[in-house]
């Protein structure tokens, strides 16, 4: 018996939607509403000290906070943040893809659960402590520095700690599983016969990869890129632990407005700017992806839908 398509009449529609009602109420009250309030706050200003209960005054709404954020001081920080996020996401992809590929194609199905668990287990350790462990590893007088110097790769001690470099490493470390899993799922779904057929027909490893494997893995890759880039751009803890002053990201700036400067209006505006920038990058990447898809279809007759 085929399942019905399309909206169902009256009471049945309600019965179908009813179980989602608590969630809907929960999300509207405790997610949508708070975010809307942030948007409103971004147009406010910080009241003169000592007066307000909350650190926000809303009687004179303006774009001042946005203007303040556009100044070179803050703008540079936001650009650095985006750069770290984009580079970090791409590095994650480069590291994760072979891992996912190995998991999906080289490890026998019986052992895949164990292999996945082996990758998750490090992430059952406290996020804070394992990020802090990098402070110990990357210290100027730490094991990595000593090893690099004795091997001749470096003339002096390692000075990457408390810079954006350490943050870059830290975020790749922390976001790796988020990239591995969706790509693994997409690759595992792919019928190995497709690859074998391609090789049987004479295509080498590289061509098979580019024309068969990669297009079919694209949904997983896109998912991975999205779920890594967006939270990464808003990172707060990793730069706080590894970055010091020079490695601060937008998240740290926003946090300081709320926790130290008590300027909620400016903090809210900066949060909105961060989200807008994230959406911008995602939009650009998405358009590039679409363009690439159209191009590959035209030039090389690659059509993943036809193959699947």
Partner 1 sequence: MTGRLLWSWLFVVLVFLYVPIGVVIVASFNAGRFLLNWDGFGLAAYAAALSNEAIRSALWLSVRVALATALLSVVIGGLAGLALAKATGRWTRPFMGVVLLILVAPEIMVAVAYLIFFVRLDLNWGFARLVIGHSIFGSAVVALLVRARVGALNPSLEDAAADLGAPPLRVFRDVTLPLTAPAVVAGGLLAFTFSLDDVVIASFVSTSGSTTLPAYIFSALRTGLRTELAAIATLALGATLFILAVTVGLLRRADGGHAAIVRTMAGGDHG
The values of phi and psi at residue 28, to 5°, are -65, -45
Q: Is 41 in the site for partner 1 (CB under 8 A)?
A: yes
Give 143 or 294: the residue with its C-beta nearer to partner 1.
143
Rounded Cα distance, 302 and 307, in Å: 9
Residues 177-236, interacting with partner 1 (CB under 8 A): 181-182, 184-186, 188-189, 205, 223, 226-227, 230-231, 233-236
Q: Is 112 in the site for partner 1 (CB under 8 A)?
A: yes
Give 176 or 221: the residue with its C-beta nearer to partner 1.
176
Residues 131-150, interacting with partner 1 (CB under 8 A): 131-134, 136-137, 139
Binding pattern for the stretch 68-107 against partner 1, x by CB under 8 A and - elsewhere:
---------------------------x--xx-xxx--x-
Q: Is 286 in the site for partner 1 (CB under 8 A)?
A: no
CA-based torsion, 83, 84, 90, 91: positive or negative: positive
Angle, CA 41 vertex, CA 39 and CA 45 arms, to 5°: 140
Give 91 or 164: the residue with its C-beta nearer to partner 1.
91
- Binding span for partner 1 by CB under 8 A among 61-69, 70-78, 152-160, 174-182: 174-182
Left (φ > 0), alpha (ψ -120 to 50) or beta: where does 261 sit?
alpha
Q: Which one among 19, 48, 156, 202 touches partner 1, defined by CB under 8 A?
A: 19
- Binding span for partner 1 by CB under 8 A among 57-65, 119-127, 153-161, 295-303: 119-127
Q: Nearest distance from residue 31's CB to partner 1, in Å?
A: 5
- Binding span for partner 1 by CB under 8 A among 61-69, 117-125, 155-163, 288-296: 117-125
């Amino acid at each position: 018996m085929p399942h019905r398509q399309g909206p169902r009449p009256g009471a049945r529609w309600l019965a179908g939607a009813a179980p989602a009602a608590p969630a809907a109420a929960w999300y509207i009250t405790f997610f949508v509403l708070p975010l809307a309030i942030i948007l409103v706050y971004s147009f406010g200003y910080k009241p003169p000290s000592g007066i307000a209960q909350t650190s926000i005054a809303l009687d004179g709404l303006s774009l001042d906070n946005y203007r303040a954020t556009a100044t070179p001081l803050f703008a540079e920080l936001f650009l650095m943040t985006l750069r770290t996020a984009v580079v970090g996401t791409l590095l994650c992809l480069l590291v994760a893809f072979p891992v996912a590929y190995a998991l999906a194609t080289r490890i026998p199905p019986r052992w895949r659960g164990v292999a996945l668990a082996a990758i998750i287990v490090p992430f059952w350790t406290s996020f804070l402590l394992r990020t802090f462990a990098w402070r110990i590893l990357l210290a100027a007088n730490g094991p990595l520095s000593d090893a690099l110097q004795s091997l001749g790769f470096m003339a002096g001690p390692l000075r990457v700690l408390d810079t954006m470099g350490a943050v870059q490493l830290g975020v790749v470390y922390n976001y790796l599983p988020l990239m591995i899993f969706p790509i693994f799922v997409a690759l595992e779904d792919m019928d190995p016969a497709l690859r074998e057929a391609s090789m049987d027909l004479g295509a080498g490893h590289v061509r098979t990869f580019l024309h068969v494997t990669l297009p079919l893995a694209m949904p997983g890759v896109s998912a991975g890129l999205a779920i890594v880039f967006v939270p990464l751009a808003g990172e707060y803890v990793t730069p706080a632990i590894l970055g010091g002053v020079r490695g601060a990201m937008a998240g740290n700036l926003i946090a300081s407005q709320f926790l130290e400067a008590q300027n909620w209006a400016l903090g809210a505006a900066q949060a909105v700017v961060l989200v807008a920038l994230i959406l911008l990058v995602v939009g650009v990447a998405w358009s590039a992806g679409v363009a690439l898809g159209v191009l590959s279809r035209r030039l090389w007759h690659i059509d993943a839908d036809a193959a699947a």
